[in-house]
Structures are given as structure tokens and as C-alpha cells.
Amino acid sequence: MSVEPITGRYLTVDIEGRTQRIYFEEAGQGRPVLCMHTAGADTRQWRHLMNDAGITGGNRLIAFDMPWHGKSLPPEGFETEEYLLTTETYIATVLAVIEGLGLDRPVLAGCSMGGRIALQLAALHGDRFAGFIAIEASDFQPAWYDIDWFHRPDAHGGEMGAALVSANISPHAPEAERWNTQWMFMASGPGVFRGDLGFYTRDDSLIGRLGQIDTKATPVHIMVGAYDLTCTPEDAQRTADAIPGATIAVMDELGHFPMSEHPEGFRPFFLDALARMRAGQEVAA
């Protein structure tokens, strides 16, 4: 029997004029590190790192479910809406959570679409953060599939989404964690994965903003798994090359969901990334 150190609570904030009840989890003490999940999933992707005393000893890991994901309900009136995430709403959500939780220049660690928004925030709101860990993150990729597949009345979008993203999981990942990673996609709300992919595969606004990122003020470290078909090492390298001062690590045996699919393999890379980030007080100095 065991009880994990992760605790979960709810934060209610106003985002773009709408009330959102957001679920967040945290573990550890010290410098705040805000962790962002991928498209079509939720904070459970960070469960292993949040249970890792070697990481939470000096870092307060906080992860939240984006509205429509996990334990964050969609907003009132969702039943007549088409969920389509936008860069503007995504940024407003992250900033509202930071403000709502009173976080002082956290490190932002995001994976996939979370990595994409991390780089957007690095370009547009770098002063609000101590650094950026952009995992499986790139400037832009158009879809190599039809995102409308994932929200149809005649098929199970979750099952299809999970089967598709399994292409991005490394064969080195432990079997149990491969399936735990896929479960979140299987269980996500109808149309949510599609709505996230709309943001990820159609908004190329980051490309023109990469040059605005000041890595002297806030470091940017990009990490990419060799088995990631969506954001390939080449995509990540191209993105790092466009950000003066950005660093990059290629993780040979990992895929697109490294913290979830293969926590042991990811751990040393994440510790290295944390070491590259500045403490908040250093930024203020």
C-alpha cells in the first residue's frame, strides 16, 4: 500500500470573459515548474516526475488540465460549441493559471502542443518566466493526416487517436507505460483531440516570432525523442537553430510522450533541462 505525494485541487479563473474551473496537481517544494500536457491528454502524463523525490526535492512541480481536458470541465454552454483551441486562448489560460496560483516566474515545461505554447510564451511573455523547457516542440508542422477523423459520429475518436499516436511511442518504452499513455487519448472528450490538433497543425504564427525570443533573459532548452514522428529531431533542430542561444537534446530511445511513456529514460534529460533553467531571483537580479 502507498499514498503518493501528489495533491490535486481546483482553481476557478476568468479566461477571456468566461469562467473556467481548472484542475491542477502539484508535488514538491522550491522553484515552481509549470508542466503542460500534450494534445488530447491531461496532467497524468506528468505522474512519474511528480512522484520523483529526486526532482521534487528542489522543484515544485505543478501541472494543470487545460479546459475540456481531464478533470477540467468544458465551460458552460459547451454543448453547442465546436472546441477549437487557439494560440490566444492557450496563452491567456497559462497566464491566468500563473496569476491565479500566484506563481513568481515559474519555469515552463511543456510537451508537444505544450512545447509549442512554451515557445510562443517565450517570444511574447518571456519576462513572466524563469525559463522554458520545450519538449517535442517545433515551430510548426502541418498535419500528415485528416484531423476530422477524430470527431465523427460513426467512429470512436479516442480509440483512433490512441492508435494514431502510438506511432509516436518508442519501442523502448515499458509496455505498461505505453498503454497508460494511450489510455488518456482513449478517454479524452469527443472532439478534444481534434480541437487541439487544429491549433497544433494550422497555426504557424510561431515561425515569425522565434527571433523575438531572448534566451539571455530566459533560457530555452528543446528536447526531442528520436522516435517522434510528429515532431522529428529535424523539426526540433530547425526550431532550435532559429532561436539564438537555444539548446537542444535528442533523446535516442524516447518518443513523443517521454515523461509518460518512459519516465526512467526521460529522467536524466529532464534533470539536465532543469539545471539549465535559472532561479527566479537570478532573473530579477
Q: In one letter, which amino acid is 76?
A: E
Specify the residue for cell string 515557445: 119
Is 171 near other proteins (CB under 8 A)? yes
Measured distance CA(156)–CA(26) in Å, rounded: 32
Which of 73, 229, 242, 279 is close enough to bind other proteins by CB under 8 A? 229
284 makes contact with other proteins (CB under 8 A): no
66 near 93, Cβ under 8 Å?
yes
CB 204 within 8 A of CB 120: no
**Binding segment (CB under 8 A) for other proteins, from list 67-75, 192-200, 215-223, 226-234:** 226-234
Looking at beta carbons only, is 10 or 145 nearer to other proteins?
Answer: 145
Residue of the chain from 166, 215, 237, 247 that contacts other proteins (CB under 8 A): 166
Burial 239-270 (b: 16+ CB within 10 A, else e): bbebbeebebbebeebbbbbbbbbbebbbebb
Which range of residues in 25-33, 52-60, 133-141, 164-172 is near other proteins by CB under 8 A? 164-172
Q: Does 39 interact with other proteins (rule: CB under 8 A)?
A: no
Within 10 Å of residue 273's Cβ, how many Cβ atoms?
Answer: 24
Nearer to other proteins by C-beta: 141 or 215? 141
Q: Which is nearer to other proteins, 126 or 198 (CB)?
A: 198
* 3-state class (DSSP) for residue 137: coil
Q: How many CB atoms lie within 10 A of CB 5?
A: 13
Q: Is 170 in the site for other proteins (CB under 8 A)?
A: yes
CB 61 within 8 A of CB 35: yes
Of the candidate spans 27-35, 53-61, 123-131, 142-150, the one that interacts with other proteins by CB under 8 A turns out to be 142-150
* Residues in touch with other proteins (CB under 8 A): 144-145, 149, 155, 159-160, 162-164, 166-167, 170-172, 226-227, 229
